[in-house]
Chain A
Amino acid sequence: MNPLPERLNERLERRQVRSWNGEEPPDWLLSPVPAPNRDPEVDELVALALRVQAAPPLQVDPDFARQLEQRILVRHAALHLERPARGWSFPRLLRAHPVFGVALSLCLLLLLLGTGVLVAAAQVTNPNNPLSVVKHWEQQVQVSLANSPASQAQLELQFARDQLTTLVTLADAAHAEAYREALVELDQQLNIASRAIHALPTGADHNRVESQLATLQADARHTLRGLLPQLAFLERLLTTDELGRLGDSVPHLVSVAIVLPAHPNGHAIISIAGDEIQPGAQLLVDTRLVDVGGSLQNGVYVFVANWAGNQHPQSIGILNPDGTAAQTTTITLNSSDDHGNSNGNHGGNGNGNGRGKP
């Protein structure tokens, strides 16, 4: 047997269907005396439901119903007249044109997305990150929105300073490529800032930003020098170049000549002419450090190194004790046979300052 609430509901449903069909309720339903095979508890509740349903206090007076209907129609007409006078409202516009709502939502979504991308792009440090393009665009927009050439120059200086900060975070073996790109960007940014400052008319603004540029360049020299010990040879070369462009004293190779030994496993004599090669500089053959000491003879740095076979090096470089480096691929090759006794041409073999094997 169904539970009581279920049975009660079934009876009420049946009663409702009958009432919709215009049938009178049966005597058993109306009578408080339970009919045979009936459920007296349910019968009582159904009877009570009918009593509530028909209770006069809950019935609407027809006169009141008519008057109220008139009243709400008048109120509705008054509202209808008031509304156009109020003009359009945003919620009403949304209700009337759901497409407008969808378009607005899309715009908001795009705006949020765009803002998110811009914020994320502003944090980007790695030049390989696709968002760096957005960052550049953001910077260009900022510059174009600046209200005066002095402000633009100031912004360019700020971007260069930001780029220098970025570079510091990339000075390790894991970010070698990103470091190289960031270094190129720093150079470009410094040039842009410099051009922007030079374009300024002479005056207080010009002097102020020019002094800021000089400070930035000094900071950049100091920072880049500090980074040198952490860098691999290639990054050192590039950083040294940048230091040179920033006006620092850096080594520069003018000419390199190698006298190869006449026999395998003989000694090769490497003579390097250049500027700012410091005492104690180390030799690099094909970017590899050769553990051999050199000596300065008549303005030329001479290294004597063990030479395996008759191989020709692609590049010769030096690494100064301060970490700066220089390299060249323009090498003059001679063999001992060409010159007879090559040692005599260069005034000795450097007094055996060390032996190395490339």
Chain B
Amino acid sequence: MEAFKDQLDRARRGEPEALSALYRQLLPGVFGYIAARVPDRATAEDLTSEVFVKMVEGISHLRASDEAGVAAWILQIARVTVAGYYRKRERQPACVPLEPRFWEEETSGENQVIYASHPDLDPARSAEARDEWDAVVQAMNTLTEEQRQVLVGRLILGYDVATVARMLGKKANAIKALQFRALRSLQRVLGKHPAPEHASPLHTRQKEDVP
């Protein structure tokens, strides 16, 4: 607690090491939160960058002095940034690329060689990854904002219930209930989208278990 406060004070004073440490601590949560809300990784990365630039610009005005307060603050910035992204998208006309996206491109012999040597460019892999991304986004978008923040706090940032409770200004029991309801909702939605093979260690084991 004191160590975090000290780190935060140093970050406020502008010490680059403290700022880096804070960034590394918060990045997974912020990215996870945004990635679960937007349609692709590139957008998630753009918005994450935007959030951390805002963090750097606003940290000297930050009133919070504990980890929960800082996490709540940065997730609030992330929430506003994602909302801004969707508002902007609503105003823009839908745009269809003239060139096919790489996973839509017809495979030629040359490309096949490339895909074989670069698994990330493998169309099958890309399509699978895209499906999984869509599934996660779709599932996370069915949750309420509080449920999303609870999952980010508990599962991605790894905070305990008490810290997430302080972050959201709720009681511990309420957080447990939100956590339960969030996972139940995800279960309902993700049940329709089985996890791809490489998605998690869980699935790998699953495959081994099933003959």
A24-49 vs B: 1/0 string, CB under 8 Å?
A: 00010011110000000000110111
How many Å from the CB of B170 to the closest CB on chain A?
A: 13
Contact of A30 among B61, B183, B205 (CB under 8 A): B205
A69: contacting residue among B24, B173, B180, B200, CB under 8 A: B24
Taking A45-B183, A54-B201 as given, write out 5 further A-B residue pairs in contact, using a Cβ cutoff of 8 Å, ordered by the A residue number.
Answer: A45-B187, A58-B31, A68-B52, A73-B19, A75-B53
**Is B160 part of the binding interface, using a Cβ–Cβ cutoff of 8 Å?**
yes
Residues A6 and B176 in contact, CB atoms below 8 Å apart: yes
Residue among A5, A57, A92 making CB contact with B177, cutoff 8 Å: A5
Taking the closest CB of chain A, its distance from the CB of B161, in whole angstroms, is 6
Taking CB as reference atom, which chain A residue is nearest B161? A9
Residue of B nearest to A70 (CB): B20
> A79-93, CB under 8 A of B: which get 1 and which 0?
110000000000110
Bin the interface of chain A by size: 35 or more
The reply to whether the CB of B78 lies closer than 8 angstroms to some CB of chain A is no
In angstroms, Cα B56 to Cα A16, docked, is 30
Separation of A95 and B187 alpha carbons in the complex (Å): 47
- 7 A-B pairs with the lowest CB-CB distances in the bound complex, closest first: A5-B180, A54-B200, A58-B32, A5-B176, A57-B133, A30-B205, A45-B183
CB contacts (< 8 Å) of B186 on chain A: these are 48, 52
**Nearest Cβ distance between residue B141 and chain A, in whole angstroms?**
13
Contacts A32-B206, A92-B60; A51 near B200 (Cβ below 8 A): yes
Asked whether B77 is an interface residue with its Cβ less than 8 Å from the other chain, the reply is no
Cβ of B57 and Cβ of A79 under 8 Å apart?
A: yes
Quick check: A52 and B155 within 8 Å, CB to CB? Answer: yes
7 A-B interface contacts by CB (under 8 A): A33-B209, A48-B187, A55-B195, A72-B19, A75-B56, A80-B14, A92-B60
Q: Which of B47-83 contact A (CB under 8 A)?
A: 48-49, 52-53, 55-57, 60-61
How far apart sit A91 and B63, CA to CA, in the bound complex (Å)?
12
B103 at the interface (CB under 8 A from A): no
Q: Which listed segment binds B: A59-67, A164-172, A346-354?
A: A59-67
Let me know if A51 and B203 touch, CB within 8 A: yes
| Chain A residue nearest in CB terms to B196 | A56
Q: Which of A19, A27, A59, A91 has the most CB of B within 10 A?
A: A59
Q: Which residue of A lies closest to B204 (CB)?
A: A30
Distance A72 CA – B108 CA, assembled complex (angstroms): 41
A4 within 8 A of B: yes
Task: Output the least CB separation between B93 and chain A (Å).
Answer: 27
Contact A8 B203 (CB under 8 A): no
Which residues of A come within 8 Å of B, CB atoms? Answer: 4-6, 8-9, 12-13, 16, 19-20, 27, 30-33, 44-45, 47-61, 64-65, 68-69, 71-73, 75-77, 79-80, 91-92, 95
Q: Chain B, interface size: which category?
A: 35 or more
What residues of chain B lie closer than 8 Å to A44, measured between beta carbons? 187
Cβ of A77: which chain B residues have Cβ within 8 Å of it?
Answer: 16
Which of these, B23, B32, B36, B179, contacts A5 with CB under 8 Å?
B179
With a cutoff of 8 Å between Cβ atoms, the chain B residues found around residue A95 in the complex are 60
Which residues of B pack against A, CB within 8 Å?
14, 16, 19-20, 23-24, 27-28, 31-32, 35-36, 41, 45, 48-49, 52-53, 55-57, 60-61, 129, 132-133, 136-137, 151, 154-156, 158, 160-161, 173, 176-177, 179-180, 183-184, 186-187, 190, 195, 198-203, 205-206, 209
Contact across chains for A60 and B206 when beta carbons are under 8 A apart: no
User: Which A residues are CB-close (under 8 A) to B48?
Assistant: 64, 68
Contact A76 B16 (CB under 8 A): yes
Q: What's the Cα separation between A13 and B56 when bound, in Å? A: 32
Asked if B206 and A13 sit within 8 Å, CB to CB, the answer is no
A9-B179 contact, Cβ under 8 Å, with A48-B187, A51-B195, A75-B56: yes
| Residues of chain A with a CB closer than 8 A to B20's CB | 69, 73
Across the interface, do A30 and B132 meet the contact criterion of CB distance under 8 Å? Answer: no
The reply to whether A60 and B36 contact each other, CB–CB distance below 8 Å, is no
Cβ contact of B49, chosen from A55, A68, A92, cutoff 8 A: A68
B31 and A55 contacting across the interface, CB-CB below 8 Å: no
A9/B56 in contact, CB under 8 A: no
CB-CB nearest in chain A for B137: A57
Report the separation of the CA atoms of residues A92 and B14 in the bound assembly, to the nearest whole angstrom. 14
Are A61's CB and B155's CB within 8 A? Answer: no
A31 to B179 CA separation, bound complex (whole angstroms): 21
Chain A min CB distance to B54 (Å): 10
Measured between C-beta atoms, what is the minimum distance from B28 to chain A in Å? 6
Minimum CB–CB distance for A16 against chain B, Å: 6
Minimum C-beta distance from A328 to chain B (A): 79
Do B199 and A79 touch (CB < 8 A)? Answer: no
Instruction: Give the chain A neighbours of B14 by CB distance below 8 A.
Output: 76, 80
Q: How far is the CA of A235 from the CA of B158 in the complex (A)?
A: 86
